[in-house]
Amino acid sequence: MSGKKVGKILKLFISKSGTSQRFDKASIILDKFGVQGDKFYNRNIERSVLLASHASYDLVKTYGIEMPFGYLGENILIDYNPYDLEIGTQLKIGNTILEISQNCTICNHLAILDVKIPTLLKNDRGIFTKVIKEGEIKTGDAVIYCR
């Protein structure tokens, strides 16, 4: 599958059961149930992988708020803003293919750091994807727009 390179992976994260802490990973393995080892694995394949853009962190920073990477609950942080892409758009990352399934809604827990964050990121928190082709994603991998 060919396509246009639009960005790269900056950071990868997983969540462990029983904690809200995010764990930085050099690589993650994805299958049809989501990110292996993540607490949300095998819960909802339409929401199995959360992808966020560095642009969300930049937006909040313009209001003087410093958010640590991973704060948005993302599994994948990229340097490309995919929030305007349509549902059904596919992205090739590493040897995987992810398909945009829905926009991510704002959770109230984001207000813990600053009460303005949910309002600021109303439409820019992230997007959920489902796994079309299983594989591995590594920090630094290209993000390729397929369709």
SS3 for 93-105, per residue? ECCEEEEEEEECC
- So what's the architecture of 4-145 in CATH? Beta Barrel (2.40)
pLDDT along the chain (147 residues), means of 10: 88 89 95 95 93 96 95 96 93 96 86 93 92 98 93
| Residue found under tokens 């813990």 | 112
Q: Please name which of 1, 51, 33, 25 lies closest in space to residue 134, comparing C-alpha atoms.
A: 33
Q: What is the pTM assigned to this prediction? A: 0.94
* pLDDT value, residue 18: 81
* pLDDT value, residue 31: 97
* pLDDT value, residue 1: 54
β-bridge mates for residue 136, sequence order = 29
* pLDDT value, residue 114: 94
Q: Please name which of 50, 44, 14 lies closest in space to residue 32, comparing C-alpha atoms.
A: 44
